[in-house]
Structure 1
Amino acid sequence: MTNAIIVNNLKFNYGNQQVLQDVSFEVQPGKVVGLIGENGAGKTTLLKILLGLLKTNMKVSILGHRPGMSQSVASMFQGDLKLPGVKVGEILAEVAAQYPNPKAPQTVLKELNLSDLAHHYLNDLSGGQLRRVTFAMTLVSNASLIFLDEPTVGMDVNARQDFWINVDRMKNEGKTILITSHYLEEIQQTADQILILKDGKIEFDGTLNELQKQYLTTQISFETKREGSIFRKLTQVQAIKQTGNKIKISSTNGDATLRDLVPYLKEIQHLNIIDASLENIFQTITRGEKTMQKMIEQLKFDGKRLIFRNYGFVFFSLLMPTAFYILFTQINRVQIKTFSAEYMGSMMVYSILITAIMGVGNFMERDRNQGLITLLKITNRNLNHYYISICFWSLMMNIFTIVILGTTAIMINHVDLSTMQWVTILGLVWLGQTPLLLLGIAISHVKRQETLTILGNLITFPVAILSGLWWPIQILPQWAQNIGNKLPTYFLNDMISSTVNNAKINWNDVWGLGVWIVGLVAAMTVGTIITRQKGRLARG
């Protein structure tokens, strides 16, 4: 028996944009096929090719004919015909006249409980009623092969139930049906064959059971007062989602995870275990792409705010350190050969300090207190993209600082460093910004802008003085030197100074920065745990 649909190595472009790439699949007669994919994956384009609405030279067979040549094909597209001056019964009669063996319009109206709408005008119908009439237009064709593109959009719950009853009826009559839908649970219950289209390619072609075997995932959900993070160490845990006391675990080996869960059974309630649904698997398949899209959008969003529309950064982190550099190096012309390169490094560190404490700290405090971070928690359920984006743009701001100060030093004071020295400075800046950035993130939790401004000033300027960024640390009192040479800005400044003078980097500086990073991470972790504990106690 000839397959109802045969597609071999189908490619299709809109101009220079490739929409479909080497798409191949076959559909046997009498099968219900679910075609799923994200918006823009190419589903509608593929349907139009199968219906002959888009021409292609590739090999595509529909009921043994080229697309558009068979008289036993019907379709239900997303758009509805809302023709003025046309009644429901009349449009069904018009459609029936186009097919060799149609159903009687009255019979179809009765099957869909639409008989009372037969004499209503199309443009008087509600959206849900019009959608059901569009389905009736498909049924009246009595075609052997039926394409349904998002058929239940706009239907209420009862109408959707009636729709799937009729799909089952058509399946029992031996008709071949290809359906696209965002209601994946409905596809799961009906489809004999599932096609997953991703980036214009068939990512999967097979049955639901085959898909579940390929993506072995079990969903384990329960309620507990324990922190969700303790369950991450369970065997084969893929992901954890916590909402209040409710926890949902995705496991690649449900049995193994459940065995590890046994010691916690006394502390959990309402335990529920289900195999992965089509929706769960679809999200797993597309998660990487979605994650990258979210990350790109977050980077674009924060880049505009942090750099291109942040005039405070331009003044305080770029122009002010550059002006200080020009002023002090021109005053100290006697020492210019040794002083100008070192002081360039000091102003780079000063700029990094301002960016982290006065820039990122204030920026994140504003995001937190004005509700952006709450919005991200609601939409993404985590803040990873946000923090990664902040760190990325912080580094980019510091790179701008290196470029501006470096260019100034070269043009005004003729500082001459090798490529390797500049690369080393860049690496040191990446390392040295970490503790300062962590400190900026920590103080951003201050609830009042005025308090944060005062705190930022109390950190930035004493640290700059004590660590020798404005003038040599050696001229400070001994007690001040003992404090200053333990600050992260001192370690970073000392390493950059060694680099510009072609001296070996002091490993004590590296260890010092490491201690600051570990200490701040530990302190912030403890603070987060305490805050969450207080929150749970407050909720009872």
Structure 2
Amino acid sequence: MRTLIRLEITRTLRNRKFMFFSVLYPAILFTVFAGSIGTDKKVDGLGITYVAYYMVAMAAFGAMTAVLMGNAERIARERERGWVRQLRLTALPGRGYVAAKIASAATVSLPSILIVLVIGAAAKDVRMAAWQWVALAFSTWAGSLVFAALGVAIGYLATADAARPISMICYFALAGLGGLWGPLTSWPHGVQQVLDYLPGRPYASLGQAIEAGNAPHAKDVTVLVVYLLLFAGAAAWLYRKDTRKA
């Protein structure tokens, strides 16, 4: 399993086009969103500035770009080319394959997160304590594993032609309903309560709580852990099912 993890990470890092868009795309979006907003203007009900809000949102959005969009289509293509049949000859369990794919995706998501945070501190004058920066980077990175597992599941559920549109629908829906494009504080309270149980909003809330000087809420962490187990379990099951067909 360790050999496969190293192989997947190496393959991901060699994909320069994918690395370029995954790492720089969220940083560009953050610069655009935060460029016309005053640094002192605060988001109603959250206690953080709009600049800080979009810093967290675009760091999370960039991580989702890397782990969800990157995993789904690539895995579907590998299935089409017979890579699963090769793995079937080994003793690799389904959980090992899922772990390798999640690890390779997490390798890409971390630099995209760090670049957005550096721009926030250096160019947008976001100021926080050292522990907040570290906690913010770690929580955004760790939370992205949920969407990496979702990407693996989609890659094994869909054909190569269908994987991209399915992953894009999930990607934009989860980002929009998670508040990554803008605050949801003006939405009806009942709708917000429902969104709290989808993975996008708890993911964004991790960083927002840290920016406000608090620990992430236990509810948000629990929701994300449940989704991680659900998506990873589904991905492992689909992998085993696919190898039985190969």
Under TM normalisation by the shorter chain, which class is it?
Answer: 0.7 to 0.9
CA separation in 1, counterparts of 2:234 and 2:9? 29
Shift of residue 438, structure 1, vs aligned partner = 1.5
Partner of 1:39: none
Number of residue pairs matched? 239
User: Which of 69, 89, 92 is the aligned partner of 1:382?
Assistant: 92
* Residue 148 (structure 2) pairs with residue 442 (structure 1): no
Partner of 1:325: 30
Highest Rg: 1 or 2? 1
Partner of 1:277: none
CA separation in 1, counterparts of 2:234 and 2:155? 14
More strand by share: 1
Shift of residue 527, structure 1, vs aligned partner = 5.1
Shift of residue 446, structure 1, vs aligned partner = 3.8
Conservation of the 8 A alpha-carbon contact between 2:113 and 2:141: no
User: Which of 186, 197, 210 is the aligned partner of 1:499?
Assistant: 210
CA separation in 2, counterparts of 1:343 and 1:517? 24
* Residue 15 (structure 2) pairs with residue 309 (structure 1): yes
Conservation of the 8 A alpha-carbon contact between 1:313 and 1:359: no
Partner of 2:196: 485
User: Which of 335, 351, 354 is the aligned partner of 2:62?
Assistant: 351
Higher RCO (CA 8 Å, separation ≥ 6 residues): 2
Shift of residue 461, structure 1, vs aligned partner = 0.9
CA separation in 2, counterparts of 1:365 and 1:516? 22
* Residue 118 (structure 2) pairs with residue 403 (structure 1): no
Shift of residue 332, structure 1, vs aligned partner = 1.4
The 1:335–1:492 alpha-carbon spacing in structure 2 relative to 1, beyond 3 Å, is: same
TM-score (norm 2): 0.83
Deviates most, 401-410 or 469-478: 469-478
Deviates most, 428-437 or 332-341: 332-341
Deviations 1:195-254 (A, max 9, x none): xxxxxxxxxxxxxxxxxxxxxxxxxxxxxxxxxxxxxxxxxxxxxxxxxxxxxxxxxxxx
CA separation in 2, counterparts of 1:426 and 1:446? 31
CA separation in 1, counterparts of 2:13 and 2:50? 30
CA separation in 1, counterparts of 2:202 and 2:185? 15
Provide the secondary structure at the position in 2 that maps to 1:491: helix
TM-score (norm 1): 0.40
Shift of residue 375, structure 1, vs aligned partner = 1.9
Letter in 2 for 1:464: A
Letter in 2 for 1:394: A
The 1:397–1:467 alpha-carbon spacing in structure 2 relative to 1, beyond 3 Å, is: same
Partner of 1:370: 81
* Residue 223 (structure 2) pairs with residue 512 (structure 1): yes
Letter in 1 for 2:86: L
Gaps of 5+ in 2: 43-47
Identity of aligned residues (%): 19
Deviations 1:71-96 (A, max 9, x none): xxxxxxxxxxxxxxxxxxxxxxxxxx
CA separation in 1, counterparts of 2:97 and 2:239? 17
Partner of 2:41: 335
Question: Which residues of 2 match residues 98-117 of structure 1 at below 5 A?
Answer: none
Question: Which residues of 2 match residues 105-184 of structure 1 at below 5 A?
Answer: none
The 1:343–1:478 alpha-carbon spacing in structure 2 relative to 1, beyond 3 Å, is: same
The 1:376–1:342 alpha-carbon spacing in structure 2 relative to 1, beyond 3 Å, is: same
Partner of 1:414: 125
More helix by share: 2
Conservation of the 8 A alpha-carbon contact between 1:466 and 1:483: no
Conservation of the 8 A alpha-carbon contact between 2:59 and 2:117: no
Shift of residue 304, structure 1, vs aligned partner = 3.6
* Residue 105 (structure 2) pairs with residue 394 (structure 1): yes
